[in-house]
Structure 1
Amino acid sequence: MGVGSEKCAITIYRTSPNSLEAITKDLCGKMQWYMRCMMLLSGAFFLLYFGLQPLTELFDENSPADQDLEVVLINTSQCHLVGRQSPPPITRTHENVVLLRCNKLQVLFTDTRSDGNYLMPSQIFEKLWCKYWLYTPQDWNMEKLLGEGQFNLLPNEHEGFKVGSGRQTVRVLCKSAANEVKYHDVLLFLPPPEPDLIPEPESGDKLSVLILGIDSLSHMVFLRNFPFINSLLDYLPHFKLTGYSRVGLGAYENIMALLSGRSIDELDPDWQNPEDESGEAKGPHFLWEKFKAAGYKTAYGEDTAQSFADRTERWRFAREFPEFNMHPIMLKMDRHTRYSIDIREMIHCTAGRAFGEVLRDFITSLVPHFKNRLFFSFFWESQGVEEYYEYSRTLDVAYLMLLKRLEEENILNKTLVLLVSGHGLRKGNYRMSYQGMQEESEPLLIAIYPEWLKAKYPRAITNLETNTKRLVTPYDLHKTLQDVLHLDRIKDSHLQKRMKKLESRTGKKVPRGISLFLPIPDARTCDMAGIPSLFCFCRDLTEVPTDDGLVVQCSRFLVKSINQMLKPYPKCEELKLHMVLLAYFVDFGEESFIYELKLRVKTMPGEGVFEGTVRITDKMYLTSPVNRISRYLSRSTCVKEPYIRTMCHCRD
């Protein structure tokens, strides 16, 4: 008989009918209460034990065997790479970051109506006195103050408060009668376009571009931690480009390569003098400048105020900032309303929303603006995922809902969506494993495209499919998006000519950046693709003893090279080699006479753990940037340069 049934079949002898009925009811009630408690406890145990892991994985008979399967990521004549389905055994973090939530109330929400913008109250338990400031976009970093005002909120109030109209940002500060801050937040009003301003749908075949970046996410971690999106992809035309490689240390270097087509070292000399005598800006243009010039709407957003774009001001990044720009909003949140919810203070909130949620709300609010317009948009989420292996699981459902919304609004039918990362996890216990070291250079790249693209440009899509197992870089993505801006370039007739031209080039004459609508050469190497030796996963590594004389000598050279870079910064301590943790011989092939070591060392003071590659000829020299894989947090705040900060241990 089911739980909660109104009857209970219990037989009791030697009692009167009345007492029998009373005892029966009493026992039934107790049994039902007991069974309900057991069900609740069982459910709680199930959730705590299994977390958010999908039930299909838990009860699939093939799951245990599948966990040890290898996935072929690259398969060419010059490179063969596989990834493991199961992660390496790693020490878990001290806190369950998957369960972390913002711990303050979301007192107000936004509501845009025909007559203006309203702040809508929610969860008001006492009288609050509120002050607000209204802003409107001005430039890349700043917003113009429009005005300020005050209002009161009463318990259980539901009436909205009008604060203005149009596109606005509002900062609200509410206090109690005891002058205690109860709510502090920054909110965005982004009304949909007026009906008479919505253009007619674009005629002809044109594609919008949506770049959804999730930092520190390798392809294999995506397969493990995003089961729902992986299931959705089965119903969408897409390709997983599993041979995608980073070309620089961090997200910044790889994003710049994607947006500009150049490395950081190549950008510096070109943009030292940003204008010529005629006042025209020199140097390479970012992709959204090119798309904007072609009539596309542009949008940009990150979930942090420490934007990668801030580091490009000396190259006049802000000369053509995107029309929908989230950066000033994040600056206000960081300055006024930010608080952290994790031990390492790497996951930030404003009121009841995580910064990542604010970013995704921003993307969702742009949907009405992009339904009937061509657009180029770039969004990047990094909080939590760049610090914790487990945290990316919390994003699976959020991005599933976002992609479903785009599909329902028919935006996916006219848009090339790139799910992309800059690199894999760079710090922590997971990164210390051999598997984690390999996956750091294997970032995520998935291209979702409209079904009609294959019918219209069959050769281009065939080439794109061929490239799923080829060696691919951000430079190739840059060239691909340039083709998206001019789709006539990928018509079969034009593509055949371009393919013949590419096939005629060999060796160093092969361009570094190749559109993914062209076939990436099977013989492509890391050197040809512009991938530094430290990030090249095509070369076999052979572990060698850490006490080998040459290994120790090269390790000392690596630390000496770090100190040379620190020399202009007197606030940084000189580092000393504490121990050699790992050493690998890099195999360039039987016909090569190159001797190169990939090293992992620990230095003092600070116990910094660094990786680098040292090549030995008649002398030693570094063939890659120095990569710090241990955390440093507040130990390097005495310097501002991001790369130097990873190596610097500040003097007391």
Structure 2
Amino acid sequence: MPEMNPFSVDIMKFFKRKHFGKCSTDKDLVVSEFDTDLRQYRIKVDENLAEQLLKKFDNATLKCTYQVIGRKKKSSFPDKDFSLSNAEHLSQSFLVPKTIDFIFTECHAVREKTELKLLQKDAFLFVQNRLKHRQKDPPSDVESKPNVIILGIDSTSRMNLRRSMPKVHKFLQKPGWFEMQGYNEVGKNTLPNLLALLTGNAEKKAQLNGQFRRSGFIDKLKYIWQLFKQNGYMTAFGEDCGKINTFNNHNSGFEKQPVDYYLRNFIVALETIFKTRRQFGNVFCLGRKLSFKYLFDFAKQFMQRFQNAAPVFGIFWSNSFTHGDFLGATALDQVFLEYLLLYDKLGFFDRSIVMVLSDHGYRYGVTRQRSKSGYLEERLPIMFIHVPPWFRKRYPQHVENLKINQNRLSSSFDLHLTLHHLLQLNATSMADFSPKLQSSQCKSCQSLFFQLPYDRNCFQAGIGEKWCSCEPTETETNQVLIRKVAREVVRHMNEHLRSRNLTKLCNNYTLKKVLYMDSKLAPNDDSLENDQLHTYIVTFDTNPTSAHFEATVQWNTEKETLTMNVDELSRLESYEKYSKCTRDPIVKKYCICKSFK
């Protein structure tokens, strides 16, 4: 795997630090706090601030109401909907019933029954501890059932973390943190990479067949959080963007709530109710607050509520800063650091296995179009694992293996088995694992607490040729060969449109220009067939619209024939405006709609 320079000239000429504007400069009129004696949340109205705000209105009083946000279970697509109760009076100090998870509040200046002005609206989330028993001390099995917390930052490569989030990177260098520097993506976008992590299967065929768009399909998969639940864990899952949510972007989402605490419907409601602001390519502000803060406050409450009651498994995934702009991470650095420092201060890391990771690097834009290193950057996302002091003392061999594995090839299939390992920490080898737990798409994958082979290849890690970053490349200079291969690629693309009956919907392509073609240097192999087959990475533009593509293909030098999977084409610029005629996320990559003007 080639070493990469995050600060290379071809990237740094496009790099600049960004800042985000505050969502609101208003003081909080309504605040939430947790009553530690009653073990309940309380909502309070700031009477002093209310008095100041009401001075602008003669003889006005304050009227505050709340509405409960919930999941509309009878909806055709419950993940894409929400319920909102009738408005109820919000008293100056309101003790939130334990049956309520989310509320929306409004405060008006009123004179008699006339509403003069909306002063402020807000939303609050509550992770309610509904366990029937309460423990004052941590569970006795804290070391056999550690908390498992996954903090995800979308589209963030190892390189961009160092460039854009130096403060976070410095925090992740602390004792107990291990960086899997050879962690390689297994698929194009968030869904296959997270599925590999959560289910052990990237479901490639199901995605191509459009099964994820069918209601109920997503619910039928076997998720690792179900196994944690069976082992006494409380479970949570949240993302901070409703439109590009992992399981809902062009897909139907879950019919049934998949975990104990689920943020989805709250975020969908807020994106509907509140005025939103976009920055870095996505919804950024939900009313008065960052969507990112709603997500990581949710994570904080989840860990707090069960700190002395039960082990927890939670995955908290952020898209808002980083999905649409590779420079968005520069604005996230301080915000994310503050949450990591807060979690550390509150003691969450003392009993938790924590993973800070991404699904892939940035997939389009200047890093992919203007930089040769962008090919590797896309394929090598961040992956850090934290193990607390007691774990390092009790399982020294696991920790030693983590150290070794930092510089070996790994994938989310391995990470899936690592999660299984956390439920059976006394296992001494993969032979101790039930065959049923083995990743269905990678039979040779294994827990990261066991030593990975030093000469491991991508196939053994469940990584396809398209995504493999292990093989060095050299730039091809034979212009006749380059044009010949590129023309065959475009011909295959047009044939693919015909075979999928897309010619009425999508334009045919013509080759505009080849930017470069790299040859993958194959391992030593004396076979004749291997001498004839060459793997090329071709980057080229097509008409119409100067679409920018990258294809990984095999070329037979003797027969001058080409093999490629058109569905695995990479599109190196945003294609949203060109592909509105189809809902299929695979087809969207390469369809230039005839209806586009």
**2:281 matches 1:360:** no
Shift of 1:627: 1.2
What residue identity is the alignment partner of 1:98? H
What residue identity is the alignment partner of 2:402? L
**Cα distance in 1 for residues equivalent to 2:83 and 2:95:** 16
**2:562 matches 1:620:** yes
**2:517 matches 1:586:** no
**Cα distance in 2 for residues equivalent to 1:87 and 1:191:** 48
SS of 2:182's equivalent in the other structure is coil
Shift of 1:612: 1.4
**Cα distance in 2 for residues equivalent to 1:341 and 1:311:** 18
Q: Structure 1's 168 and 561: CA in aligned 2 closer, same or farther, altered over 3 A? A: same
**Corresponding residue number in structure 1 for 2:546:** 607
Shift of 1:390: 2.3
The question of whether the paired residues in 2 share the 8 Å contact of 1:387 and 1:427 is answered with no
**2:448 matches 1:516:** yes
The question of whether the paired residues in 2 share the 8 Å contact of 1:237 and 1:449 is answered with yes
Residues 41-66 of structure 1: per-residue CA shift (max 9 Å, x gap): xxxxxxxxxxxxxxxxxxxxxxxxxx
**Corresponding residue number in structure 2 for 1:531:** 463
The question of whether the paired residues in 1 share the 8 Å contact of 2:44 and 2:94 is answered with yes
SS of 2:103's equivalent in the other structure is strand
**Cα distance in 1 for residues equivalent to 2:589 and 2:92:** 48
Q: Structure 1's 498 and 642: CA in aligned 2 closer, same or farther, altered over 3 A? A: same
Q: Structure 1's 259 and 196: CA in aligned 2 closer, same or farther, altered over 3 A? A: closer
SS of 2:568's equivalent in the other structure is coil
Larger Rg: 1
Shift of 1:240: 0.7
Q: Structure 1's 182 and 579: CA in aligned 2 closer, same or farther, altered over 3 A? A: farther
**Corresponding residue number in structure 2 for 1:305:** 242
Shift of 1:416: 0.7
**2:353 matches 1:421:** no
**Corresponding residue number in structure 1 for 2:508:** 574
**Corresponding residue number in structure 2 for 1:13:** none
**2:22 matches 1:101:** yes
Q: Structure 1's 268 and 294: CA in aligned 2 closer, same or farther, altered over 3 A? A: farther
Q: 281, 285, 290: which one pairs with 2:227?
A: 290
Q: 354, 362, 380: which one pairs with 2:317?
A: 380
Note the residue ranges of structure 2 that are not aligned, 5 or more in a row.
Answer: 436-440
Residues 300-327 of structure 1: per-residue CA shift (max 9 Å, x gap): 110111321236977x855561111100
More helix by share: 1
**Cα distance in 1 for residues equivalent to 2:160 and 2:314:** 25
SS of 1:309's equivalent in the other structure is coil
**Corresponding residue number in structure 2 for 1:243:** 182
**Cα distance in 2 for residues equivalent to 1:84 and 1:381:** 26
User: Does 576-585 or 462-471 show the bigger shift?
Assistant: 576-585
* Matching of residues 473-484 of structure 1 within 5 Å: 473-484=411-422
Q: Structure 1's 510 and 260: CA in aligned 2 closer, same or farther, altered over 3 A? A: closer
Residues 444-481 of structure 1: per-residue CA shift (max 9 Å, x gap): 00000011222222222221211111110000000110
Residues 109-134 of structure 1: per-residue CA shift (max 9 Å, x gap): 43244586425356874567665422
Residues 338-388 of structure 1: per-residue CA shift (max 9 Å, x gap): 42243x752421122121122112112223223122011001111221222
Q: Structure 1's 563 and 271: CA in aligned 2 closer, same or farther, altered over 3 A? A: closer
Equivalent pairs, count: 548
Shift of 1:331: 0.7
**2:487 matches 1:553:** yes
SS of 2:305's equivalent in the other structure is helix
Shift of 1:257: 0.7
Q: Structure 1's 220 and 640: CA in aligned 2 closer, same or farther, altered over 3 A? A: same
**Corresponding residue number in structure 1 for 2:438:** none
Q: Structure 1's 407 and 302: CA in aligned 2 closer, same or farther, altered over 3 A? A: same
Shift of 1:255: 0.5
Shift of 1:397: 2.5
**Cα distance in 2 for residues equivalent to 1:381 and 1:589:** 38
Q: 531, 541, 548: which one pairs with 2:473?
A: 541
**Cα distance in 2 for residues equivalent to 1:541 and 1:407:** 42
What residue identity is the alignment partner of 1:641? D
**2:169 matches 1:230:** yes
**Corresponding residue number in structure 2 for 1:133:** 67
**Cα distance in 2 for residues equivalent to 1:380 and 1:340:** 20
**Corresponding residue number in structure 1 for 2:572:** 629
The question of whether the paired residues in 2 share the 8 Å contact of 1:541 and 1:586 is answered with yes
Shift of 1:185: 4.0
* Matching of residues 60-459 of structure 1 within 5 Å: 80-90=1-11, 97-102=18-23, 105=26, 107-112=28-33, 113=35, 114=38, 117-121=42-46, 125=53, 126=56, 132-136=66-70, 141=79, 144-149=83-88, 160=92, 162=94, 164-166=96-98, 167-173=100-106, 183-190=120-127, 197-198=134-135, 200-204=137-141, 205-265=144-204, 284-306=221-243, 307-310=245-248, 317-319=254-256, 321-342=258-279, 345-372=281-308, 373-432=310-369, 433-459=371-397
**Cα distance in 2 for residues equivalent to 1:201 and 1:235:** 25
Shift of 1:241: 0.6
The question of whether the paired residues in 1 share the 8 Å contact of 2:445 and 2:460 is answered with no
The question of whether the paired residues in 2 share the 8 Å contact of 1:559 and 1:576 is answered with no
Shift of 1:538: 1.3
The question of whether the paired residues in 2 share the 8 Å contact of 1:88 and 1:435 is answered with no
**Cα distance in 1 for residues equivalent to 2:219 and 2:70:** 30
Q: 627, 638, 642: which one pairs with 2:581?
A: 638
Q: Structure 1's 346 and 336: CA in aligned 2 closer, same or farther, altered over 3 A? A: same
What residue identity is the alignment partner of 1:361? D
SS of 1:308's equivalent in the other structure is coil
SS of 1:485's equivalent in the other structure is coil
**Corresponding residue number in structure 2 for 1:464:** 402
SS of 1:440's equivalent in the other structure is helix
**Cα distance in 1 for residues equivalent to 2:23 and 2:181:** 35
**Cα distance in 2 for residues equivalent to 1:286 and 1:106:** 42
The question of whether the paired residues in 1 share the 8 Å contact of 2:82 and 2:269 is answered with no
**Cα distance in 1 for residues equivalent to 2:542 and 2:493:** 8
Identity %: 22
What residue identity is the alignment partner of 1:111? S
The question of whether the paired residues in 1 share the 8 Å contact of 2:219 and 2:255 is answered with no
Q: Structure 1's 195 and 431: CA in aligned 2 closer, same or farther, altered over 3 A? A: same
User: Does 368-377 or 578-587 show the bigger shift?
Assistant: 578-587
SS of 1:644's equivalent in the other structure is helix
Q: Structure 1's 266 and 560: CA in aligned 2 closer, same or farther, altered over 3 A? A: closer
Q: Structure 1's 524 and 196: CA in aligned 2 closer, same or farther, altered over 3 A? A: closer
Question: Taking structure 2 as the reference length, what is the TM-score of the superposition?
Answer: 0.81
What residue identity is the alignment partner of 2:97? S
SS of 1:310's equivalent in the other structure is coil
**Cα distance in 2 for residues equivalent to 1:106 and 1:220:** 38
Shift of 1:196: 6.3
**Cα distance in 2 for residues equivalent to 1:569 and 1:149:** 55
**Cα distance in 2 for residues equivalent to 1:606 and 1:318:** 39
| C-alpha RMSD of matched pairs (Å) | 3.7
What residue identity is the alignment partner of 1:560? N
